């Protein structure tokens, strides 16, 4: 097996993502099956929507791919098994979580910078990438504001900026437009598309059919069971 890839090195090299393979992935919480034998493949440059009603298993599938919830089955990025969250981060798998999950007593800039520093980015590089990412979501004037001072929609955009700044190989976005008005929704969808064009694999969980229609392909979950609706 090849040597582990440090995430900080991967993002600096702007490597195109190898294929992502999800094979018979099942997620259980006690007796509840959240995802049942989901299988699909995704490739660099693809923007995939995962759709379904609330509780269908969309978030569980994304977090399983991110190595953050236990599952059975296989998840591989190229020749590498994803394994746990640490390994997923090393491989360049990033999550934009639903509900932003910001540190409320840090500034917007700090919320974007610190995850980069944590994986080895130099301070000046983290600062530049955080500023660029905040500018891309229209929050260049809000970097010094505490997260708790921002509206729900602004917090969501900071979370999107945090994900974009990491230059991921696989970007998993969990309902990234749910708190946004029309203009900012369009902005975020365009940014996710740009990430795919950069060479990332982008997988977005959404209940919004208009947002899903902007993706190249669609996987629908119905009580945890996955069905491919559209292929890229």
- Cα 29 to Cα 42: distance, rounded to the nearest angstrom: 26
Sign of CA dihedral 140, 100, 171, 81: positive
Give per-residue pLDDT as tens, 129-140: 999 999 999 999
pLDDT greater at residue 95 or residue 9: 95
Confidence at residue 163, expressed as pLDDT on a 0 to 100 scale: 97
Q: What is the DSSP string of 65-87?
A: HTT-S--EEEEEETTEE--SHHH
Assign 1 a pLDDT band (cuts: 50, 70, 90). Answer: very low
Confidence at residue 99, expressed as pLDDT on a 0 to 100 scale: 85
From the list 18, 20, 16, the residue with the least C-alpha distance to 38 is 20
- Cα 166 to Cα 181: distance, rounded to the nearest angstrom: 25
User: Is residue 105 one of the residues assigned to a domain?
Assistant: no
Mean pLDDT along residues 166-193: 96
Mean pLDDT along residues 49-66: 96
User: Is residue 40 one of the residues assigned to a domain?
Assistant: yes
Assign 6 a pLDDT band (cuts: 50, 70, 90). Answer: very low
- Which value, in Å, is the radius of gyration of the alpha carbons in the chain? 17
Assign 14 a pLDDT band (cuts: 50, 70, 90). Answer: low
Confidence at residue 174, expressed as pLDDT on a 0 to 100 scale: 97
Assign 10 a pLDDT band (cuts: 50, 70, 90). Answer: very low
Using the structure block, give the residue that is written with the tokens 């997988």. 203
Assign 179 a pLDDT band (cuts: 50, 70, 90). Answer: confident
User: Is residue 52 one of the residues assigned to a domain?
Assistant: yes
Domain count, the chain: 1
Tell me which residue range forms the domain holding 227: 20-92+207-232
User: Is residue 183 one of the residues assigned to a domain?
Assistant: no
Confidence at residue 229, expressed as pLDDT on a 0 to 100 scale: 86
For the record, the structure tokens of 32 come out as 């509840």
Confidence at residue 36, expressed as pLDDT on a 0 to 100 scale: 96
User: Is residue 186 one of the residues assigned to a domain?
Assistant: no
- Cα 140 to Cα 7: distance, rounded to the nearest angstrom: 26
Altogether, the residues listed in the chain come to a count of 232
User: Is residue 172 one of the residues assigned to a domain?
Assistant: no
User: Is residue 120 one of the residues assigned to a domain?
Assistant: no
State the pairing for strand pair 80-81/93-96: unpaired
> Which own/partner pairs from 183-189 qualify as long-range (CB within 8 Å, at least 24 positions apart)?
184/137, 184/138, 184/153, 184/157, 185/211, 187/137, 187/138, 188/137, 188/157, 188/160, 189/214
pLDDT greater at residue 88 or residue 223: 88
pTM assigned to the model: 0.91
Sign of CA dihedral 185, 209, 42, 65: positive
CATH number, residue 61: 3.40.50.300
Q: What is the DSSP string of 6-47?
A: PHHHHHHHTPPPPPEEEEEEEEEETTEEEEEEEEEEE-TT-E
User: Is residue 110 one of the residues assigned to a domain?
Assistant: no
């Amino acid at each position: 097996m090849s040597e582990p890839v440090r995430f900080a090195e991967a993002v600096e090299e702007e490597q195109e993502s190898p294929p992502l393979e999800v094979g018979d992935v099942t997620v259980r919480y006690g007796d509840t099956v959240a995802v049942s034998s989901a299988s699909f493949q995704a490739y660099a440059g693809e923007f995939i929507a995962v759709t379904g009603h609330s509780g269908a298993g969309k978030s569980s599938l994304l977090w399983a791919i991110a190595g953050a919830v236990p599952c059975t089955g296989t998840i591989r990025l190229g020749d590498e098994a994803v394994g746990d969250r640490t390994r997923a981060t090393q491989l360049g798998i990033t999550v934009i979580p639903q509900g932003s999950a910001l540190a409320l007593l840090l500034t917007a800039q700090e919320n974007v910078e610190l995850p980069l520093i944590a994986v080895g980015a130099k301070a000046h590089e983290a600062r530049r990438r955080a500023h660029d990412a905040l500018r891309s979501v229209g929050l260049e004037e809000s970097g010094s504001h505490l997260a708790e001072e921002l509206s729900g929609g602004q917090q969501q955009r900071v979370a999107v900026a945090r994900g974009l700044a990491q230059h991921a190989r696989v970007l998993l976005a969990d309902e990234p437009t749910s708190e946004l008005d029309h203009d900012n929704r369009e902005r975020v969808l365009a940014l996710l598309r740009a990430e795919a064009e950069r060479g990332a694999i982008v997988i977005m969980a959404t209940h919004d059919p208009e947002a899903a229609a902007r993706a190249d392909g669609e996987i629908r979950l119905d009580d945890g069971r996955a069905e491919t609706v559209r292929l890229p």
